[in-house]
Amino acid sequence: MSEFAVNTPWTSDQSTTFRWVYSHLRRHVLLLLAMFVGAFGNAALAAVVPILVGVAFNAVLADPIDIHMVGLAALGIIGSQTVRAVLQLGRNFSSAIVGERLERDMRQELYISLLGKSMTFHDMQPVGDTMARATNDVHELNLMMYPGINLVVGSLNFMIMPLLFTPRYAWQLLLAPVFFVVTYILALARYMSTLDPVTERVRQAFGVMNSRLAEAIDGIEMVKSVAQEPAEIERFQENAYEYREATVAQGRIEARFLPLLLLGVTQAIGFAQALILFRAGQVNVGDVVAYMGLLTLFGFPTFISLTAYSRVSLGVAGARRVLELMHQHTELDENAGGYQGEIEGRIEFDGVTFGYTDNVAVLRDVSFVVEPGQTVAIVGQTGAGKSSLAKLINRTYDAQNGRVLIDGRDVSDWNLAALRRQISIIEQDIFLFSRTVADNIAFGCPGATREMIEDAAKAAQAHDFILNFKDGYDTTIGERGVTLSGGQRQRLALARAFLTNPRILILDDSTSAVDSATEDQIQKAIVQAAQNQTTILITHRLSQIRWADLVLVLRQGRLEAAGNHETLMQTSPAYRRIFEQYEGEGGTGEQAEG
């Protein structure tokens, strides 16, 4: 299931980590072919050098010296290495391009997947860990390709060359190359099986460290307000130490990989056998020189093995973590084929029970009906479920039991995008982007003209303070709107809601940070807008409660009473207590009932 889906120009197989990576790689067949051809040509032309050096040795030892053959050998080396340089450039360039595209496409796929996850997922998933996977883990896939797989492919071709060219001197000389290849593969298999869980630990430790860091930075105001900097530093040091220990453990495993020892043993075996054959007259000096030169080709897979294979292992661990995040279950389905009509505004809750976790119900058996165009005030104590109730209307969450109906249709039967386009929610915690004022107002209506944006701002009583900014509507505001006051953020959020012209408008205590005069002006705008829409007010303002057509009183997740203000004052003791408490606090309800 997905809460949001978008068509991509490719399809990927996410059944396993290997198939997921492979499904992305196969889209770049020509570049991969260029990498393999370049790697083979590079290794083959590298083998040409010792062969031609052997030919030159024999020419120098000839009597008389064959200067012509020496010159041809020199020209052959120059020409072959020139071509080799071009092939190596093509190989590196191709693998680098594939690596960058792999990172780009996989990050885009992860981003689309994250947008499609439900709020239940995002509530439980640490932001820092998500960012670590979306940045560092995805980047590890780039490094896995280049230099990782690029060097692995190159080293494999270098290992093949001594096996291919040694028989031209004496087939017995294959003993040393075969010994190296077999022992190298066995050592590599053991090395990778040991390294994989450690690289997984490295990536997990980094994710935890990044998660705690993001949490501390996001809550920096709280940290400073209670002087908890030393405690946070200690906590970060603990996480950094765990990351360091994981990295050191990886280093220990890499240090115990002994390809250099294998190379030394191989060269000793090869040299001893070549001398024996030389004394037996089966090979000449040039053959011995060329053969020992071919054995030095094993130096490339020997010296790059630590870098290349650890990069591959880290890349696989990163891919596994990214795919694990994408496979996380989401609670909502966008219902792409669902109903997409225009909302009239009738809302019905039929025996609705809801909780953020299975064991704790926030709402219990709630039932009520709101007719189109009505204004509804929801009141209750802290934790009564007021905000949770509002989030069920636009399917931010789904009810666990019972039904939420819009115009007589279960909200799950609606196309999710069509439903949400016609419902605006202004929450207590208002989020604004690090963009211009105009872009923030037009966020839900990207095609809005400047005139439409300004009209919405005027209706929300935001136009005047916007014009006081240096660049007016083109002023870039800080992340989450930290450069604005609480009242300014609320009015920009109201302007954003007014611009979308919703059929259902939900205001979750959205005028709590404005003064009485501004509130009166905003309320006039809300009253005017409410004539054409259904309006839900989660509020402590007595003026808004009195104005509502219907008041819902929530208590401990249950609907305690419903009716207009006059009726509830006569029939509901719970409502009278709440109302009298608000009235006793000057009509604002500040800090009283949440």
pLDDT in tens, 534-580: 999 998 777 778 888 999 999 899 999 999 888 998 888 888 887 77
62-107 pLDDT, tens digit per residue, is 988 999 999 999 999 999 999 999 999 999 999 999 999 999 999 9
Exposure string of 476-506, with b = 16+ CB inside 10 Å and e = fewer, is ebeeebeebeebbbbbbbbbbbbbbebbbbb
Average pLDDT over every residue of 491-502: 89
3-state secondary structure of 381: coil
Average pLDDT over every residue of 328-354: 90
Report domain extents, the chain.
17-326, 338-422+505-594, 428-501
DSSP 8-class letter at 436: B
Identify the bridge partners of residue 423 per DSSP, sorted by sequence position.
504
The pLDDT of residue 589: 40
Backbone angles phi, psi at 587, to 5 degrees: 85, 5
DSSP 8-class letter at 342: -
Please determine, for residue 585, whether its predicted confidence score (pLDDT) is greater than 70: no
Angle (CA) 534-536-542 rounded to 5° is 125
The pLDDT of residue 511: 65
For residue 501, the Cα-to-chain-centroid distance in whole angstroms is 32
Q: Where are the alpha helices (DSSP H) in 280-349?
A: 285-295, 299-326
Q: Is the peptide bond before 147 cis (omega within 30 degrees of 0)?
A: yes
Average pLDDT over every residue of 362-373: 95
Band (pLDDT 50/70/90 cuts) for residue 51 is very high
CATH number of 338-422+505-594: 3.40.50.300
Please determine, for residue 300, whether its predicted confidence score (pLDDT) is greater than 90: yes
Question: Which residues touch 175 (CB under 8 Å, ≥6 apart)?
Answer: 269, 270, 273
CA distances for 198 relative to 186, 247, 313, angstroms: 19, 8, 9
C-alpha to C-alpha distance for 48 and 63, rounded to whole angstroms: 25
C-alpha to C-alpha distance for 65 and 394, rounded to whole angstroms: 91
State the architecture of 17-326 in CATH terms. Up-down Bundle (1.20)
Half-sphere exposure of 518 (CA within 13 A, CB side): 19
pLDDT, greater one: 284 or 522: 284
Q: Where are the beta strands (DSSP E) in 329-417?
A: 347-354, 363-370, 375-380, 401-406, 409-410
Backbone angles phi, psi at 397, to 5 degrees: -135, 160
Same CATH topology for 17-326 and 338-422+505-594: the answer is no
Instruction: Check if the beta carbon of residue 289 is closer than 8 Å to that of residue 173.
Output: no
Residue with tokens 């809005």: 448
Q: For residue 323, which of 133, 120, 193, 100 has the smallest C-alpha distance?
A: 133
C-alpha to C-alpha distance for 225 and 520, rounded to whole angstroms: 34
Least confident of 34-38, 153-157, 514-518: 514-518
C-alpha to C-alpha distance for 278 and 288, rounded to whole angstroms: 8
For residue 73, the Cα-to-chain-centroid distance in whole angstroms is 55
The pLDDT of residue 513: 59
Exposure string of 274-286, with b = 16+ CB inside 10 Å and e = fewer, is beebbeeeebbeb
- The β-bridge relationship of strands 504-508 and 534-538 is parallel
State the architecture of 428-501 in CATH terms. 3-Layer(aba) Sandwich (3.40)
